[in-house]
């Protein structure tokens, strides 16, 4: 991903995955268009050795969500963004980082929310990572 257009294209693909919630998981997982585009702990693709430093870690305490990507930050290699989305596609929030920042962000869930959360972490060198969390 060398420029903003690539970033936005990848983000659009992630949004389309959220739209697949009504599609059976086995079918969605078999779609070749997601291979080596969106990475997870269970499906790290070509980045198998990058999981611990790229997959976002999510902690939920009540209605507070903390997202941390345990990634070193340098001018050449850093986490660009976190995003949090609810199961129905509702955008909760996002945080954009520079190489000088720590890749940590906090969000507040709608009161009483129960269901899946989709949290993303985007690395400028190792692509787009997704963590699903059940609340």
pLDDT of residue 32: 52
User: How many angstroms separate the CA atoms of 21 and 79, rounded?
Assistant: 27
Per-residue pLDDT of the chain (135 residues; tens, 9 = 90+): 455 555 544 554 454 444 444 434 443 444 455 667 888 888 887 787 888 888 999 999 999 999 999 999 999 999 999 999 999 999 999 999 999 999 999 999 999 999 999 999 999 988 889 999 999
pLDDT of residue 35: 67
Which two tokens mark 88?
Answer: 């129905």
Sorted by where each begins, the domain ranges of the chain are 4-134
pLDDT of residue 3: 55
pLDDT of residue 25: 47
Q: Kindly report the CATH number that applies to the domain delimited by 4-134.
A: 2.60.40.730
């Amino acid at each position: 991903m060398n420029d903003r257009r690539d970033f936005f294209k990848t983000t659009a693909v992630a949004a389309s995955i959220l739209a697949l919630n009504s599609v059976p998981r086995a079918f969605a997982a078999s779609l070749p268009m997601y291979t080596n585009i969106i990475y997870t702990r269970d499906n790290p693709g070509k980045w198998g050795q990058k999981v611990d430093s790229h997959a976002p870690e999510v902690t939920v305490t009540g209605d507070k969500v903390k997202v941390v990507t345990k990634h070193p930050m340098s001018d050449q290699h850093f986490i660009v963004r976190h995003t949090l989305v609810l199961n129905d596609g509702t955008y909760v929030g996002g945080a954009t980082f520079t190489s000088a920042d720590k890749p940590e962000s906090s969000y507040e869930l709608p009161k009483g929310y129960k269901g899946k959360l989709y949290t993303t972490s985007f690395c400028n060198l190792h692509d787009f990572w997704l963590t699903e969390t059940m609340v």
